[in-house]
Amino acid sequence: MCGIAGVLGSEVSAAPLIANLAHRGPNGVRTEDGPGWSIGHARLSIIDLEGGWQPLHAAGGTVIGNGEIYNYVELTEAFGLKDRLTTGSDFEPLLHLYAMEGPKAFERLRGMYAFCLIGGDGRTWLVRDRFGIKPLYYTAGPDGLRFASEPRALTRGPMVQERARELLALNYTLGEETIFAGVRRLAPGAVVEVKDGRPSNTAHPREGAGPSDGSAWVPAFAGMSGSETKALQTLDAVLENSVMVHQRSDVPYGLFLSGGIDSTAIATLMSRLNARPVTAFTCGFDVAEARDERLQAEKVARALNLDWRETTFTEADFWRLAPQAAWAMDDPTSDYAILPTLKLAEAAKGTLTVVLSGEGGDELFGGYGRYRRALRPSWLGGRAAEPQVDAPMLADGGRSALTRWRASTAGIEGSLLKRSQAADIATWLPNDLLLKLDRCLMAVGLEGRTPFLDREVAAFANALPDRMKVRGRYGKWILRKWLERACPAADPWGKKKGFTVPVAAWIAPRAADIGPRLAQLKAVRETCDVDAVRSVFADDAYAAKRWSLLFFGLWSQIHLEDLEPTAALKTLLDD
């Protein structure tokens, strides 16, 4: 895990770009210039601590990458590369494969990654993993193409109001355009060749890279049958293998344990694969009515003999971390889960460097309640598995954002369940959940890994019949059935308590001060109905809407007006 940046098709140095990403690479920064290019790498050392420094050179090519290529061991063996390698880096085999196969080599990668490869054949590529676990942004102009792991390293245009309205309606923004004019995301799964400082192909040439139908985001899975017994056996083998490769690390690793199905499944397999107790961190809240699953997490931890560490999120943490979270999320998501994620990252720092997490389990195995609602007839409360938009601070209530969400997921094929899953995988997953995990952990120099978002796990999940994902009132049916035997302490059929961050309770005492001050901010005036903003903070009936506006106000001051995080918060509080 690290940060990358570069300038292609120009003699401009990448040094100022990568300097803005030093928090992603606490072990050091290196830059290198070549004919018509300049690249930089900020390193968080995970694999080959001494020899894995980038840029890497081999087989006539050069690469800088962010993330991990988990199957580098298997690729080295399969292609007889051991005697050619000069480092133990997981990215070096890629250069040899590219020299042998060209861009076809990218199809062989199993991992989370965003990289720039300058081949010995004179071709230059920007590539991002299939799910968009690792971020990559770029701008293209007369002075070449600039790319970076975070928009803060690039020259950013003014705020795009349509994206800001999406943020307030959906909690994240859609598509490849970002909230900054001129800054684009490289799409999940994209393989882009850069010629003369411009992207010459922004399509997704690899099979399985795009979300065009319900199965397009994964390769085919061989050997699947309708047998429940066979499915459970295969699930066990596939998940164990994924957790095994996600543990490849030369630094300490552990996990975030929420107490839910997904993180418990990962904890179960980590416990199986490690001789020593695995370190697990859980976060709860000090508000009585807040919902978390600490008791269940502790029960699982004791059953699996985990080294369990509990941390509590307090009201003081909220006011301390809210501006820090807004700083970390330069590509914004106002999902309130960024707050406990950042607190967990702080708690784990110093003990762990790599953290496994459960993102992707709901999307792959049909866990969300909205999937089950979508499968019911309308007379039983059924409705489409799409965002439920209610944004009183916007003139149209957020309807335009919902219209764009529908357009961005149009054309997806397959069963209703698969269409719903694929829509989330194309939108909510990369632009909210994975964005949150990347920024919150990298803000403190940790690497987050997601074993569910593995190509082999995804292939297995996609091949499952719908009845093994959703059955009756249960989502993730096959995972629950597996946990029933693998970890009975998980209580997989028990009623889920859920996870709710009590932001409304913490904001309420200061709402009367915050509302009028938010309404005066330039970005808020440009985006919102300011009278509605004041009403949201004056009427407790709108308490649930306050956090997204508070986040937006903090974010706009930090990223558009260049205020320090603490100063941004101070403008909104009467202290």
pLDDT tens over the chain, length 575 residues: 699 999 999 999 999 999 999 999 999 999 999 999 999 999 999 998 888 999 999 999 999 999 999 999 999 999 999 999 999 999 999 999 999 999 999 999 999 999 999 999 999 999 999 999 999 999 999 889 999 999 999 999 999 999 999 999 999 999 999 999 999 999 999 999 999 999 986 544 333 334 333 334 455 555 555 689 999 999 999 999 999 999 999 999 999 999 999 999 999 999 999 999 999 999 999 877 677 788 899 999 999 999 999 999 999 999 999 999 999 999 999 999 999 999 999 999 999 999 999 999 999 999 999 999 999 988 888 888 999 999 999 999 999 999 999 999 999 989 999 999 999 999 999 999 999 999 999 999 999 999 999 999 999 999 999 999 999 999 999 999 999 999 999 999 988 766 688 999 999 999 999 999 999 999 999 999 999 999 999 999 999 999 999 999 999 999 999 999 999 999 999 76
Tokens matching residue 73? 């061991």
List, by residue range, all CATH 3.60.20.10 domains of the chain.
2-199
Tokens matching residue 206? 């690899």
Pairing of strands 137-141, 28-34: unpaired
Pairing of strands 354-356, 253-256: parallel
Query: Radius of gyration (Cα) for the chain, nearest Å?
Result: 23
Pairing of strands 191-195, 198-199: antiparallel
Tokens matching residue 146? 């600039």
Are 176 and 190 in contact by the 8 Å Cβ rule? The answer is no
Tokens matching residue 253? 């690793």
Dist CA 14 CA 398 (whole Å)? 39
Q: Which of 85, 19, 12 is nearest to 47 (CA)?
A: 85
| Beta-carbon contacts of residue 450 (< 8 Å; ≥ 6 apart) | 112, 131, 133, 246, 356, 357, 358, 359, 360, 434, 437
Dist CA 369 CA 291 (whole Å)? 17
Dist CA 433 CA 133 (whole Å)? 9
**What is the model's pTM?**
0.95
Q: Which of 510, 511, 515 is nearest to 528 (CA)?
A: 515
Phi, psi torsion values for 48, nearest 5 degrees? 55, 75
**Does an H or E element contain 64, and which?**
strand 61-69
The four Cα atoms 275, 279, 280, 281 give a dihedral, to 10 degrees, of: 180
Dist CA 446 CA 454 (whole Å)? 20
Strands in 56-58's sheet, in edge-to-edge order, are: 56-58, 61-69, 111-118, 124-128, 191-195, 198-199
Dist CA 210 CA 206 (whole Å)? 8
List, by residue range, all CATH 3.40.50.620 domains of the chain.
228-381+432-490
Are 535 and 567 in contact by the 8 Å Cβ rule? The answer is no
Dist CA 85 CA 451 (whole Å)? 27
Name the fold adopted by 2-199: Glutamine Phosphoribosylpyrophosphate, subunit 1, domain 1 (3.60.20)
Are 314 and 286 in contact by the 8 Å Cβ rule? The answer is yes
Tell me the sheet residues that pair with 146. Answer: 7, 139
Dist CA 414 CA 426 (whole Å)? 15
> What pLDDT sits at residue 224?
59
Dist CA 13 CA 39 (whole Å)? 8
* CATH 3.40.50.620 correct for 228-381+432-490: yes
Tokens matching residue 457? 């796990």
Tokens matching residue 51? 């020899």
Reduce the DSSP state of residue 316 to 3 states and report it.
helix
Helix 294-304 and helix 261-273, axial crossing angle in degrees, nearest 10? 20
Are 469 and 478 in contact by the 8 Å Cβ rule? The answer is yes
Tokens matching residue 536? 């949201």
